[in-house]
Structure 1
Amino acid sequence: MSTHVKRNIRHLTLAELEEYFAEKGEKKFRAKQVYDWIWLKQAPSLEAMTNLSKELRHYLSQDFSFPALAVDATQYSEDGTIKTRFRTHDGHFVEGVLIPTEHRVTACVSSQIGCSLSCKFCATGYIDRKRNLTYDEIYDEVALINQQSERVYGKKLTNIVFMGMGEPLLNYKNVLKSIERITSPEGMGMSPRRITVSTAGVAKMIRQLGDDKVKFKLALSLHAANDNKRHQIMPINDTNDIKSLVDALNYFYKQTKNEITFEYILFNEFNDSQKDADELIKVYRQVPADLVNIIEYNPIDFARFSKPTEEKVEAFMNYLEKNRVNAHLRRSRGKDIDAACGQLANKE
């Protein structure tokens, strides 16, 4: 007996939905109704599509699956940050974070379940990559965090950063397709300029972003400005050294003119000296980067790194500013609930 594998209804285009309804002898406008329920109204299930008849919803549920993300657990930080653990239809967990500040509300979303890059300072790097998230699952993350933002803060999301679990450029198609849906007027209608994709540095895919003329911003997780040190903490540097990344970023900028940011976590006695700052300045000057985000390190259980003293951080920042580097110190949010940068690991 063959079991009929149901197609995920969210992977159908509007034209395919129209074809389906025509075959069923239904009116064409039904397809648009369903499509709007999926993307515009962000329905969590077929049952939620209340302006369709029961009979029609029954048909749909026989023919299609609707594997939506569900909220599994929510944690609230003292500073207003909210971390959500989502459960996928096949039982995996993935985390997303809502970060409110005075002028913006940002969703930090994941693109993979686990990660294959094993960066030494990041909790997600210590868990294997189970699979990529599909574009509709990434869309769900954003939609659910947006609903949370409206409920808790009375505001819609203003920004999205792909800085959660996983390497976005190793899930290239799904990440781009999710952004296409998020920015579409038939979806959330968000401006791509308010979206930042952060990468540990996959040179080939950074160039691909340029070729695809994407409209969103790009952040490179540099964290060390010479190959020897970067190689120690980020194994991806073996195949994507700093020179290849500088070349790729310049190509990306030439093709898109989009904003580029460097991310640089300060580790005590590792990358926080004046010599390290000089190397960072050198890399910064080779790329039309808009900003260097200096990030506080958030200790995790199994990493050997620690955080520099406030004095050291201040000296590093002052040195960059003296050398006309547009640098910003990013204070960590949500540390008390393991929601800060590098801490997402699906702790039970």
Structure 2
Amino acid sequence: MGFVLYLCRMNQLPNIRALSNEQLLTFLESIGEKKFRLQQIKEWLWQKHAASFDDMTNLSKSLRQQLSEHFSLPALTIDTTQYSADGTVKTRFNTHEGYKVEGVLIPTDERRTACVSSQIGCSLSCKFCATGYMDRKRNLTFDEIYDQVALINQQSESLFEKKLTNIVFMGMGEPLLNYNNVLAAIERITAEDGLHMSPRRITVSTAGVAKQIKKLGDDGVKFKLALSLHAPNDAKRNEIMPINETNNLKVLIEALNYFYAKTKNEITFEYILFKNFNDSLKDADELIKIYRQVPADLVNIIEYNPIDIATFQKPDEPAMERFMQYLEKHKVNARLRRSRGKDIDAACGQLANKGK
């Protein structure tokens, strides 16, 4: 996939990371530089993660000056970092023009997972999600998404002496409403001269954009797909997720089956339990019916993480256990996902750029 050359909003210089190899090589040759400089620059941009041209210390001062005069390098930088008692790390990043966006490192004994954002804010207004109450400022560019992963990978290596094992697009924003940048970021993350991560270790989570789910199938993507379901019928889903009014369950089930037929990639359902809303055994029955219409690998049952602006509550433990046992009794491959990072507002649905 070719990267579209876009202009840096602040100074109108082309973003160097949006250039193709051919474009950058043509520039280098035009100023009398040798071809091997291309590889050096690419290493700084994608593997050494330079935040400015001055960081590229094995380039001559004159070449660094030429690069800074002709191109921009609008890299994300770290604003604040918070550490949870359970080992979770939340980082707030700055964009070049001063917007904030958050990403999370979730360590376990077996995995180190980066939860990354795709937009600054969100336009979908899901009633239980803190990000849904924010305005969407803009989409993140492919290189800004890559920056999140690269910086969180550095944190993982520093704190746990191990690289990231997994990436989930479950942070701020709807990934499929930033389709081109998300796919371009994943292409760069999985590239040999990027982070060289297997696409099978990447999961893109969507609130349900049926047209784009089908496009993923047509494009033959290799990563996993998760649907944020959170309600077992259209009436309840309409109540908490306005996107369902234009992407109802019938349409989504059709799109998921189309995606699987085209890719055979793993599909997961995400289902947050809300007290006295979607946690009854009748709700479980309806969830089972949906599960059996799609070749889903797993249903993630998620603890709700309360946010100040919403009135939803988490069910008590016996209610969650009853729900889980009912699913298991009916041969549903379900897992109860406990919250991580609640003490720093880093858990599912809590990302909202809060704090200092």
Could you say which residue in structure 2 is the equivalent of 1:48?
55
Could you say which residue in structure 1 is the equivalent of 2:3?
none
Could you say which residue in structure 2 is the equivalent of 1:21?
28
Could you say which residue in structure 2 is the equivalent of 1:216?
223
Tell whether 2:85 aligns with 1:75: no
The aligned amino acid for 1:201 is G
Could you say which residue in structure 1 is the equivalent of 2:72?
65
Tell whether 2:10 aligns with 1:12: no
Aligned counterparts of 1:28 and 1:168: Cα–Cα separation in 2: 36
Indicate the SS of the match to 2:101: strand
Aligned counterparts of 1:332 and 1:146: Cα–Cα separation in 2: 21
Runs of 4+ with deviation above 2 angstroms: none
Could you say which residue in structure 2 is the equivalent of 1:321?
328
Could you say which residue in structure 2 is the equivalent of 1:101?
108
Q: Is the 8 A contact 1:298 1:342 kept in 2?
A: yes
Could you say which residue in structure 2 is the equivalent of 1:167?
174
Indicate the SS of the match to 1:85: strand
Aligned counterparts of 1:108 and 1:4: Cα–Cα separation in 2: 31
Aligned counterparts of 1:70 and 1:309: Cα–Cα separation in 2: 40
Q: Deviations over 1:52-105 (max 9, x none)?
A: 100100110111111110100000000000000001001000000000001000
Deviation at 1:4, TM superposition (A): 7.1
Indicate the SS of the match to 1:196: strand
Could you say which residue in structure 2 is the equivalent of 1:267?
274
Could you say which residue in structure 1 is the equivalent of 2:247?
240
Tell whether 2:172 aligns with 1:154: no
The aligned amino acid for 2:335 is H
Aligned counterparts of 1:153 and 1:111: Cα–Cα separation in 2: 25
Tell whether 2:257 aligns with 1:258: no
Deviation at 1:143, TM superposition (A): 0.4
Could you say which residue in structure 2 is the equivalent of 1:88?
95
Q: Deviations over 1:242-285 (max 9, x none)?
A: 00000000000000000000000000000000110000000000
What percentage of aligned pairs have identical amino acids?
73
Tell whether 2:38 aligns with 1:31: yes
Unaligned runs of 5+ in 2: 1-9
Aligned counterparts of 2:49 and 2:112: Cα–Cα separation in 1: 20
Aligned counterparts of 2:56 and 2:97: Cα–Cα separation in 1: 23
Aligned counterparts of 1:25 and 1:83: Cα–Cα separation in 2: 44
> 5 Å matches for 1:110-125?
110-125=117-132
Aligned counterparts of 1:21 and 1:114: Cα–Cα separation in 2: 38
The aligned amino acid for 1:26 is E
> 5 Å matches for 1:177-192?
177-192=184-199
The aligned amino acid for 2:232 is A
The aligned amino acid for 1:50 is T
Aligned counterparts of 1:194 and 1:52: Cα–Cα separation in 2: 35
Deviation at 1:295, TM superposition (A): 0.1
Q: Aligned-pair RMSD on alpha carbons?
A: 0.9
Give the structure-1-normalised TM-score.
0.98
Aligned counterparts of 1:194 and 1:47: Cα–Cα separation in 2: 34
Deviation at 1:32, TM superposition (A): 2.0
